[in-house]
Amino acid sequence: MNLYTAAQMREADRRAIEELGIPSAQLMENAAMAVVREVRALSIPGPGLDGPVGWVTTDGHAPTPEEQAEFWAMRRRSAIVWCGPGNNGGDGVAAARLLMEMGWRVKCVLVGDRDKMTGDCLEMERRLVEEGGMLEDFDPEHKEQYMPFDVAIDALFGVGLRRDLGPDAALAARMTRWGTGWVVSVDVPSGIHADTGEVMGSAVKADLTVTFSRGKPGLYVGQGAVHSGRVVVADIGIPDDLYPERSQTVLAGREDLYLAPRPVDGYKGDFGKLFILAGSRGYTGAAALCARAAARSGAGLVTLAVPEDVYPILAVKCCDEVMVWPWPENDGEIVERAKGCTAAVIGPGLGQGQRTEKLVLTLLRELTCPIILDADGLNIISRHIDVLDEREELTVLTPHDGEFARLSGCELPIRDRLGTARSFAAKHRCAVVLKGHRTITAAESGGCAVNSTGNPGMAKGGSGDALAGLMGGLLAQHGGLDEAVKAVWLHSRAGDLAAEDKGEHGMTPSDLIERIPDALKELAGQSDTLCEIK
């Protein structure tokens, strides 16, 4: 799925209104109806059709019709709608009116300056008043009137927000969670940067975000992915041809990925040869996990090259399908062995000794196949960025945030993971797979893919080693950065399957590796539409 920036969304809105003559108020009504549809679909406990059985009042008498009416009025489904003065607020005001018309008890609150209300927002207030509703001014001194409600609708700010929330808006954002069942954000959770996912001071934490026309990057990366909850992309009537055919950022899902069938007359040489340089004393597990994941990738041959002193351990730890090869004394022999392969993984558990560093730099200079740098491979290259800059072939870096901070010099926490990864990849002529929640794959060209799978159970030592091996195996077979995007999805999907079996707490990277074949099977037989980042 293509993700579009706030600027691209504003341009599509403008073209729909100015070039096609679609009234802006109609687009606002369509947006409000989309929000209402999703709100009404939420699971909200309600009264039975016949009322409470044997109901009596506190003093023991049967309720009068007036008392029954008051009870049911209080038990109607209810919503509080927090609105800003802009068009996002107008969406909220329109949604409040529609819910009122459907019998909901609604409180609609304006947070902000009435003098700054847009024309469409004022029009939606007029329609609300016509139906007997009211857009009340926010009164922070009497907070008790704003709770409890079945649903809180956040329509404070939309995609255009570029500054921290002011005091009243920040308070309202916090209050969406006070005494409320569900929190639903309109377009983007207020306080979240639509392009980066950054929290601007404070932000609404939604259970559901109803975003309009197209997904926005900030809903799927950084803290935005945490604050958005479940995201629904709703059509509000803007024609598809008003958007660019492709965007720089895509959300990679199962439907975007393709697993090529293996030819019936193929042999092992047709499916790539992977060279893995990994392992050291005390870190044999990283090398073993990397090699085992590579063996599950479908690669024809996997060679794990390890220091001689850990060879006996890894020869036992690794599965029979991996060729464990001890380093010879002559580094030239290692380089020649690697040159006979179609991809290389360098780094898991490797260590950073003098010989190791020299060997890694030699491989980077002399190999003409794709190389994946992970763990200590990243630590070594961080001191020799010039070697990275000089490579002509595909180099994929797979850092977590801490490793990336050492590579790039950026501060932690990384506020804009998407933009920072994109900038580094372009500057250093490489691809960056920035691992974490919603892993980002950034290409030298500026294109980025955001992963859509994964779970917290994968946050354990060894998961990254498995990703490096799986990615190496796919690149050895097919080459191209799209295989890295596919590897990230498959790795996280295997993690999701492992979590279903073992639970997020008890699952291990070994459990993940065992589910790689099941994740691969899910892609088998799909159409050949690729998730390309350009």
Q: Is residue 252 part of a domain?
A: no
Mark whether 52 and 197 lie in a shared domain.
Answer: yes
Q: Which residue, 220, 246, 272, sits at the end of a domain?
A: 246
Mark whether 212 and 294 lie in a shared domain.
Answer: no
Mark whether 236 and 321 lie in a shared domain.
Answer: no
Query: What is the length of the chain?
Result: 534
Beta pairing partners, 231: 209
Question: Cα separation of 469 and 467, whole Å?
Answer: 5
Question: Looking at the 3D structure of the chain, how many domains does it have?
Answer: 2
Q: What is the DSSP string of 47-112?
A: --TT--TT---TTSPPPPHHHHHHHHHHHS-EEEEEE-SSHHHHHHHHHHHHHHHTT-EEEEEE-S
Mark whether 80 and 177 lie in a shared domain.
Answer: yes
Mark whether 237 and 279 lie in a shared domain.
Answer: no
Q: Is residue 303 part of a domain?
A: yes
Mark whether 206 and 297 lie in a shared domain.
Answer: no
Residue-wise pLDDT tens for the chain (534 aa)? 999 999 999 999 999 999 999 999 999 999 999 999 999 999 886 544 334 444 455 666 777 777 666 655 556 799 999 999 999 999 999 999 999 999 999 999 999 999 999 999 999 999 999 999 999 999 999 999 998 899 999 999 999 899 999 999 999 999 999 877 899 999 999 999 999 999 999 999 999 999 999 999 999 999 999 999 999 999 999 999 998 877 899 999 999 898 888 899 988 988 999 999 999 999 999 999 999 999 999 999 999 999 999 999 999 998 789 999 999 999 999 999 999 999 999 999 999 999 999 999 999 999 999 999 999 999 999 999 999 999 999 999 999 999 999 999 999 999 999 999 999 999 999 999 999 999 999 999 999 999 999 999 999 999 999 999 999 999 999 989 999 999 999 999 999 999 999 999 999 999 999 999 999 999 986 555 556 666
Mark whether 219 and 285 lie in a shared domain.
Answer: no
Q: Is residue 26 part of a domain?
A: yes
Q: Is residue 52 part of a domain?
A: yes
Q: Is residue 257 part of a domain?
A: no
Residue 406, domain CATH = 3.40.1190.20
Mark whether 288 and 211 lie in a shared domain.
Answer: no
In degrees rounded to 5, what are phi and psi of residue 322? -105, 135
Mark whether 158 and 123 lie in a shared domain.
Answer: yes
Mark whether 145 and 172 lie in a shared domain.
Answer: yes
Q: Is residue 96 part of a domain?
A: yes
Range of the domain at 134: 2-246
Mark whether 306 and 171 lie in a shared domain.
Answer: no
Residue 44, domain CATH = 3.40.50.10260
Q: Is residue 426 part of a domain?
A: yes
Residues 6 or more apart whose CB falls under 8 angstroms from that of 126 comprise: none
Quote the tokens at residue 311: 């060879």
Mark whether 191 and 268 lie in a shared domain.
Answer: no
Distances (CA, A) of 275 to 157, 299, 472, 476: 51, 11, 8, 9
